[in-house]
Structure 1
Amino acid sequence: MTTAKAWFITGASRGLGRAFTEAALAAGDRVVAVARNIDPLEDLAAAYPEALVRFPLDVADRRAVFEGVQQAFAAFGRLDIVVNNAGGLLYGMVEEATEEQIRAHLDVNFFGAVWVSQAAVPHLRAQGAGRILQVTSMGSAGGMATVGFYGAGKVALDSLSEALAMEVERFGIKVTIVEMGGYATGLFTAGTTATEPLPQYDALRTELEEMWGDESGPDPSTAAPVIMELATLPDPPRRLIIGSRSYDQVREIDQTRIGQYQAWEHLSRMAPG
């Protein structure tokens, strides 16, 4: 008989967070689901009154995160899987973004995951086991115009998570960087903050919109089975790309980057360091 796992999922009210919450509950697991607005979770609360605990949480508020994580552990007596999924999109060119927009974006997309990780690690260490899934993006493989700050936050979380994984592995805690592909999560609608566009970038903006097209991507529920299987692996990968098309795109980006390194190897080797 498989023991039910206890999950803590941020950004659980929509998109990928909602899909992961539904999948875990359907598998017989228990979930603490948090988001700024938890009203969309009412139907799941009615369907799983014993297995779902939900409460509002702003991950940008460090004190609230520590209190929320403590509440989550108290709810089920342990947590097995912590999913840092909460995030949004700052859409616009680097020059266009205000300081307020940039700081607010990174407060959620980067620092929010930092606060949750800091709050969860002592509990996971005390129980001698646990998983932290850091939801980043296949886009963190390289920067892209108009979503530079989104990519920057994900790259920062990538790097920090590599360090965290090394630091906590000896305590029985496994960290996986989950590089999500493009799914229909509402990120470009409900989750978007837009800059005030400068006319100097109109042509580039039009080119990008034509290149991306109107395709919103597959339903987030199609990614949930991967997360469920990942959660059961005794020795999970440090990084995992989720999405077949995204896997191919990331490989292409990496191969292009290697080609650039090789093309300029002679210049790199001019310095002894």
Structure 2
Amino acid sequence: MSKAMTPRTWFLTGASRGLGAHWAEAVLARGDRLAATARDIAALAPLSERYGDHFLPLRLDVSDTAAVRDAVRSTEATFGGIDVLVNNAGHMLVGAVEEVEEEQARAQMDVNYFGALAATRAVLPGMRERRAGRILQVSSLGGLVAYPALGIYQATKWALEAMSESLAAEVAAHGIHVTLIEPIMFPTDLAAASPQVAQDPAYAHARQALYAGAEAAGFTPGDPAATSEALLAIVDAPEPPLRVLFGTGGLEALRTEYAGRLAGLEQWDHLSRLAQGKPSGS
């Protein structure tokens, strides 16, 4: 695993489990400083014991915007600034659009989108002042393609995608790079640890289509630990990508998706022209 020329300071949300736990270990193992957040920081105690003052555990619910700002300020006060933000906290609500309660939908957006937005906005002043910084947004293949029974979850990722693409264009002049990470399939128990909907038999076919689609696409589970090296490579790259897929099979799925979108738009282009109307003065 490559080592950075000088130690960096990271702010990582959702560090207690899944990909975040692997990333926290990798960041600290190479000598960087890390502020890591979790709703239950007891899970972070082993890292505190091993890495001492290189590690700052923070109890945080990212849906609390004021608490997010406080956590960022605490990290800046402790380490002198944040070089890398990784917005990883999130959960996955599985359910058809009609099955999801409004409160569940709002909570999903609060964590996956507004939590990332709050952390992003909080680190930007310091990064702009130093004219350097990396912001890594953990999206999903579902931030680029929408599958049945995941509409609300994927809506949060589509929102994250749009915000981050605009942000990348806005902050490039300040020396800040933004990267959207698109994991495909990793055994992290994300769905199992997330809120559940009351399933309606009317949408059993949607859940079946979700799993059948993943099987048909040939998605196979990747190794969560292996993502750490890829994450560090993004941060070390002089010109990191705006988007990068984590895992295999995604490119083929996207080629099919985008070809279908273009074909559909071309098929109905006659309505596009009808809606345009005639040029004024003709």
1:81 to 2:107 alignment: no
Q: CA deviation at 1:212?
A: 4.5
Q: How does 1:19-98 map to 2 (within 5 A)?
A: 19-98=22-101
TM-superposed CA distance for 1:207, in Å, is: 4.5
Provide the rounded CA distance (Å) in 2 between the counterparts of 1:116 and 1:35.
Answer: 14
Please identify, of 118-127 and 242-251, the stretch whose mean Cα deviation from structure 2 is larger.
242-251
CA distance in 1, matches of 2:170, 2:78: 27
Aligned to 1:170: 173
Q: Does 1:179 align with 2:167?
A: no
In the other structure, the counterpart of 1:235 is: 239
Radius of gyration: which is bigger? 2
1:110 corresponds to which residue?
113
In structure 2, the CA distance between the partners of 1:177 and 1:203, relative to structure 1 (3 Å rule), is closer
2:258 is equivalent to residue 260 of structure 1: no
- Deviation at 1:248? 2.6
Which runs of 5 or more structure 2 residues have no equivalent in the other structure? 278-282
Taking the aligned partners of 2:96 and 2:161, their CA distance within structure 1 comes to 22
Q: Quick one: distance in 2 between partners of 1:135 and 1:49? A: 27
Give how far 1:216 is off. Answer: 7.7
Q: TM-score, normalised by structure 2?
A: 0.90
Q: Distance in 2 between matches of 1:205 and 1:181?
A: 18
Question: Could you tell me whether the CA contact under 8 Å between 1:178 and 1:241 is conserved in 2?
Answer: yes
Correspondence for 1:199 among 201, 206, 221 = 201
Q: Is the 8 A contact 2:12 2:85 kept in 1?
A: yes
What stretches of structure 1 of length at least 5 have no aligned partner?
none
SS at 2:93's partner residue? strand
Give, as a single letter, the amino acid of the residue that structure 1 aligns with 2:104.
Q
2:8 aligned to which of 5, 8, 14: 5
Q: 2: CA distance between counterparts of 1:66 and 1:17?
A: 20
Alpha-carbon displacement from aligned partner over 1:16-55 (angstroms, at most 9, x marks no partner): 1111111111222111110111222222222211321111
Distance 1:228 1:119, change over 3 A: same
Q: Given the two structures, how large is their TM-score scaled by the length of structure 1?
A: 0.93
8 Å Cα contact 1:65-1:116 kept in structure 2: yes
Q: What do the CA deviations read for 1:224-251 (whole angstroms, capped 9, x no partner)?
A: 1111000011111112222222233223
What number of residue pairs does the alignment pair up? Answer: 271
Task: Report the CA distance between 1:169 and its aligned residue.
Answer: 1.5
Of 252, 255, 268, which aligns to 1:248?
A: 252
2:276 aligns to what SS in structure 1?
Answer: coil
SS of corresponding position for 2:185: coil
Secondary structure, in 3 states, of the residue corresponding to 1:25?
helix
